[in-house]
């Protein structure tokens, strides 16, 4: 399990540093539906999301909020291969990579929420990051959906906002719109 977490952390850290102008991504606007994991969100007008081009697996999209700044929204889904036993455990596991970036003790607030029709945990983490002059904020909501079939594991869904303290209030409005638009759909196999 430790190896799985380290591998997942490495993949997330690598993906986090990719840019929207990378030719490995396709732009998405308006309604985005992920047929592999069975969910949909609406990207607010004026913004574009980016998803990996084939043959890369498509777990979700990222939406840059400011050019050249660490401000973005990630919408993601993956099978519960880490075998989280509860939504709080999944939330802690999915947000661990961000907490590890902090150089001070992060301020964390978690509370029950819903993502679409699924019970979720909403978490806000505020801290100082290496090389940063201000606070960095992670706002995320994590849920474990039902298994698509008997032979498949459940899906972990997450929507995350990464922002800086100066942008946070405006970025949070966009994040909240995307979270409210989240809905489960029928996966296509």
Residues 118-151: pLDDT tens digits?
999 999 999 988 777 778 999 999 999 976 555 5
In a 3-state reduction of DSSP, which class is residue 125?
A: strand
| Segment 78-124, tens digit of pLDDT | 988 888 889 999 999 999 988 888 888 899 999 999 999 999 999 99
pTM score, whole prediction: 0.84
Q: Is 135:164 a contact under the CB 8 Å cutoff?
A: yes
CATH class as words, domain 2-184:
alpha beta
């Amino acid at each position: 399990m430790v190896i799985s977490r380290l591998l997942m952390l490495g993949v997330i850290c690598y993906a986090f540093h990719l840019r929207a102008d990378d030719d490995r991504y396709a732009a998405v606007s308006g309604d985005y539906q992920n047929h592999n994991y069975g969910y949909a969100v609406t990207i607010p007008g004026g913004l574009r999301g980016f998803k990996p081009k084939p043959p890369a697996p498509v777990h979700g999209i990222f939406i840059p909020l400011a050019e050249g700044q660490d401000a973005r929204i990630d919408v993601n889904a993956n099978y519960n291969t880490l075998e989280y036993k509860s939504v709080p455990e999944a939330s802690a596991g999915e947000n661990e990579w961000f907490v590890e970036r902090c150089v001070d003790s992060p301020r964390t607030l978690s509370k029950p929420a819903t993502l679409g029709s699924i019970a979720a945990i909403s978490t806000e983490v505020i801290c100082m990051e290496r090389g940063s002059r201000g606070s960095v904020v992670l706002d995320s909501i994590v849920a474990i959906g039902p298994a698509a079939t008997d032979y498949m594991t459940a899906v972990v869904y997450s929507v995350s906002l990464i922002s800086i303290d100066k942008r946070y209030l405006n970025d949070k409005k966009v994040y909240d719109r995307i979270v409210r638009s989240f809905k489960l759909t029928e996966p296509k196999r």
